[in-house]
Amino acid sequence: MTIASEQVDEWTVGTLDLDAYLGRIGQSRATPSAAALRELAKAHILAIPFENVDVVLGQHKGIALEDVIGKLVGRSRGGYCYEHGSLFAAAAEQLGYSVRRLVARVQPQKNGPYTHMTLAVEADGVQHLVDVGFGAGMLVPMPLVDGAVVDQAGWPHRLVADGDWWRLQKKEGEDWTDLHAFTLTPMHRIDYEVYHHYTSTHPRSPFTGQLVVMRLEEGLSRKLVGEEFIVERPDGIKETTKIPPERLDATLRELDVVLTEDELAKLLKIYPG
């Protein structure tokens, strides 16, 4: 058995029904290329929301690929980075891309945790950062080229090489702010199990104490954080409104998160948290 086949088996890539996934995001099979990768990542982000409902409810089933598929492909639900990343990686590998699963330190300037799952995917002979699980952040891949600037739904982002590290930055006014930092060291499945355990259970995790739902599209970022619904545009316009309990279900549906009656009832008992 080759190293490559061992790595694929570790991630149970064959568990994914590729056609079902492509149907979920409205895409067709395409020969691997940088252009096809861009469309695949964009379609994934536009179709599948970033959300932490199961973490808040204390009922997350885990990040095994079969569980991720059941929620993100089989239902009108989303997930957070480990779910998005593992799902996209499996689809990309089935389509013929070479994928490296990575981990990043969020907000490194503030000593943020080293827990975020991201991906490096090769297309047309170039490694690309593909970050489908970074909430309302990246919409399309970025070539791993020092100084590369790519428009992300209207917000410029930049990659900067720093020794063995890469820093993903976002332009805010005239300044560039670090969003996360990562190396190209590939991770193993057990690594994400450890990160997920912290992220989904630790009281200081940003995802255990409040609802977080994020959607990104061209020129528009929408977020529900706690009870605050935040709408932002690239020109700096920002609107924040509070969502009362009676509007929670409708707001979640606007963000493409559809809960069962039982899930909604449980969430309303602790909303806003």
pLDDT tens per residue, range 130-166: 999 999 899 999 999 999 999 999 999 999 999 999 9
87 CB-near residues (< 8 Å, 6+ apart): 16, 21, 44, 48, 65, 68, 69, 72, 73
Residue 259 and residue 272: Cα distance in Å, rounded? 16
pTM: 0.95
Residue 81 among the catalytic residues = yes
Q: Which domains does the chain have, with CATH numbers?
A: 13-270 (3.30.2140.20)
pLDDT tens per residue, range 176-192: 999 999 999 999 999 99
Which of 44, 60, 84, 116 is labelled catalytic?
116
d(CA 228, CA 226): 6
Q: Is 84 a catalytic residue?
A: no
Phi, psi of 177 (to 5 degrees): -110, 130
The DSSP output letter for 185 is: P
CA-to-CA distance for 195 and 191, rounded, in angstroms?
6
Active site residue 256: no
Q: What is the mean pLDDT of the chain?
A: 95
- In the set 54, 81, 128, 178, the catalytic residue is 81
Query: How many Å apart are CA 14 and CA 37, to the nearest integer?
Result: 20
> CA-CA distances (angstroms) from residue 219 to 98, 132, 212, 236, 261?
31, 17, 20, 11, 33
Task: Exactly one of 60, 131, 178, 180 is catalytic; name it.
Answer: 131
